[in-house]
Structure 1
Amino acid sequence: MITAILDFGTNTFNLLIAERQERGFKILLSSKQPVKLGRGGIQVNRITPDAFERGFVAIHNHMETIRGYEVDEIRAFATSAIRNATNGEEFTEEVYRRFGFRTRIIPGDREAELIYKGVRQAIAFGEENAMILDIGGGSIEFIICNNRGIVWKQSFELGMARIIELYKLSDPISSEEVRALENYFRQELAPLREVVKKERPLTLIGASGSFDTFQALIRHRKGLESDHYFGREILLKDYAKLHK
């Protein structure tokens, strides 16, 4: 059985086509379309008309790709930008009218749980606590977990699209903006600090493309080519140099 999975994120609409097999599944295709669904409206929880159209163009392109495979079912999911938008259901209803499939809007807590389940497919957890971080456009998810399951999880509406719209950041970012962001995150992530003190995770697992970028920047600074090797360790001292 071949399934096409569509993930409607705040910045990107992703497509994964996979074939179910006796043991697990085989990925046939993975692709993405930039959409920036939150641009111009994420701070007021609205999807703008322009963003609607960018989303529909991306879905149309994905559907063209899907037609090249013998897909048995399409499953679509939406996260932060759509779940928080006052016209989010209007968007998903229009998707159904145009393309013929329903979209499930995922709550933040469920999104964190699914991130954990996805990471668990690729990484063997130990007895000691680890913390997963997924950096999205609309939200970020922290999950503290071990080989027995999830210890704590929470989704924060602090995705990068929201931050950029809120602070109108310059490029390159200024030191004053960095300090303002640090103060903002320190305040908004207070619940995380408390639980980290209690549960003391020893490893941070990055579950989003931001960590690929961190790795590429670190390797570039060291004169190495970026290899996109899954599971490569990023040393805290190397990341600290990037932050400076």
Structure 2
Amino acid sequence: MMSDIRASIDIGSNSVLLLVADVSNGKLKEISKRSEITQLGKDLDKNKAFHADSMKATYEAIKSYAEDCDKHGVPREKIIATATEAARVAGNAAEFFQKIEDELKVHINIITAEAEAYFSTKGILFDSKFDSEIITIMDIGGASTELIKVNTKNFQILETISMPIGAVRSTQWLHDDLFVQNLQKVFLDFRTSIDKFQTKELFCVAGTVTSLGNMHLQRKEFEEDEVHGLKLKVEDIDNLFKKYSNSNPEQFLEQFPFLQKRSQSIRGGLHLVYHLAHRLLVKEITISTYGLRFGTLLEGKIKKEFLNGK
């Protein structure tokens, strides 16, 4: 069977991720996987726009990724590139992404929160085994957190919510001494729906939780094979919180060099995971390194109804 080499780029509020893979005969073989922390959601609540330094870093990451796709024979117009919560909020998102398309020939799709849930679910269901027919997934980004309840047998999303809390936002709230106040407001705003996602076992994707899993293992470098499928008891999350909830970026980086620029936002992510796990009455977290970029790559296209504003 002929190979089908595809590429996806996930432009999040904290990181920009690339996946190039051969999708053939129902299987996925990774060719290239890269990650850059560009903090596109930095100061988003304050400015309602992308920060100039973050745009520069994001542009350079996408330029490098596009060149990588060139080497692997993926035409730039075929790259499946998506942007999420930060792009839905930032007033200068359309102008910035038009510049990328004009100069780099990569089209960016700003997708809805529902699309985020769909693609994250598609990614995690592709390479995980489940004891339960109904599971709950949590996807913590830089600016938003999606909770998804899904039937694993027929891939039916039963419930989903997108809350305006993420690792970058939480870090800024901690810095401004507004974390408790803002988190309580979010919990209050979603009080009628969040209880539907209470679960003993929570399946988690995205960089915050994968990083916490690697920290739990006390690894200096990121060990994806050990993190994928790792199960953390809520007591493990509690221990991480007790040890590191007051650490600064320099301390995180010294102990966990793999964090690199994520050391700037991991404290907020840790606080968020801790409080959400307890709010949802979670006993155990199962970590998956498969997420949105895997889902979009497997899908192969972005439907019009998944585009923000459509």
Moved more, 75-84 or 16-25: 16-25
Residues 125-145 of structure 1: CA distance to partner in whole angstroms, max 9, x if unpaired? 344532111111011110112
The answer to whether the Cα contact below 8 Å between 1:129 and 1:202 also exists between their aligned partners in 2 is no
Taking structure 1 as reference, are residues 178 and 46 closer, same or farther at Cα in structure 2, changes over 3 Å only?
A: closer
Residues 76 and 102 in structure 1, CA contact (< 8 A), matched pair in contact too:
yes
Structure 2 unaligned segments of length 5 or more: list them: 243-310
Q: Deviations over 1:71-127 (max 9, x none)?
A: 243121111111221121111111111111211111111111111111110123344
Aligned to 2:204: 206
Q: Which residue matches 1:58?
A: 61
Q: Which residue of 2 aligns with 1:172?
A: none
Greater helix fraction, Structure 1 or Structure 2: 2
Letter in 2 for 1:239: I
Aligned residues: 233
Worse overlay, 117-126 or 226-235:
226-235
State the partner residue of 2:110. 105
Q: Which amino acid aligns with 1:64?
A: E
Distance of aligned partners of 1:61 and 1:155 in 2 relative to their CA distance in 1, 3 Å threshold:
same
Residues of 1 paired with 2:45 and 2:7: CA distance?
28
State whether residues 66 and 106 of structure 2, in contact with CA within 8 Å, keep that contact through their aligned partners in structure 1. Answer: no
The superposition leaves residues 8-50 of structure 1 with CA deviations (integer Å, 9 ceiling, x where unpaired) of 1111111110112122332111101221112233433211333
* 2:97 is the alignment partner of 1:92: yes
Q: Which amino acid aligns with 1:190?
A: R
Instruction: State how far apart, in whole Å, the 1-side matches of 2:8 and 2:45 are.
Output: 24
Please say if residues 16 and 27 of structure 1, whose CA atoms lie closer than 8 Å, have aligned partners that are also in contact: yes
Contact kept? 1:43, 1:165, Cα under 8 Å: no
Following superposition of structure 1 onto structure 2, how do residues 134-145 of structure 1 map, counting pairs within 5 Å? 134-145=139-150
Decide which moves more: 136-145 or 146-155: 146-155
Answer yes or no: is 1:114 the counterpart of 2:119.
Answer: yes
Q: Which amino acid aligns with 2:120?
A: I
Give unmatched runs, 5+ long, in structure 1: 170-175
2:20 is matched by which residue type in structure 1?
A: I
SS at match of 1:213: helix
Residues 39-54 of structure 1 aligned to structure 2 (within 5 Å) = 39-54=42-57
SS of corresponding position for 1:234: strand
1:168 aligns with 2:175: yes
2:79 aligned counterpart, secondary structure: strand
TM-score when normalising by structure 2? 0.67
In 2, Cα distance between equivalents of 1:22 and 1:226: 30
The separation in 2 between residues aligned to 1:182 and 1:52, in whole angstroms, is 27
1:20 aligns with 2:23: yes
Q: CA RMSD in A?
A: 2.6
Partner residue in 2 for 1:78 = 83
Equivalent position SS for 2:158: strand
TM-score by structure 1 length?
0.84
Deviation at 1:201, TM superposition (A): 3.0
How much identity, in percent, do the aligned residues show?
23
Question: Alignment partner of 2:98: what SS?
Answer: helix
Question: Is residue 13–residue 33 contact of structure 1 (8 Å, CA) maintained in 2?
Answer: yes
Give 1:150-189 correspondences, 5 Å limit: 150-168=157-175, 180=181, 183-184=184-185, 186-189=187-190
Report 1 or 2 for greater relative contact order, CA contacts < 8 Å, sequence distance ≥ 6: 2
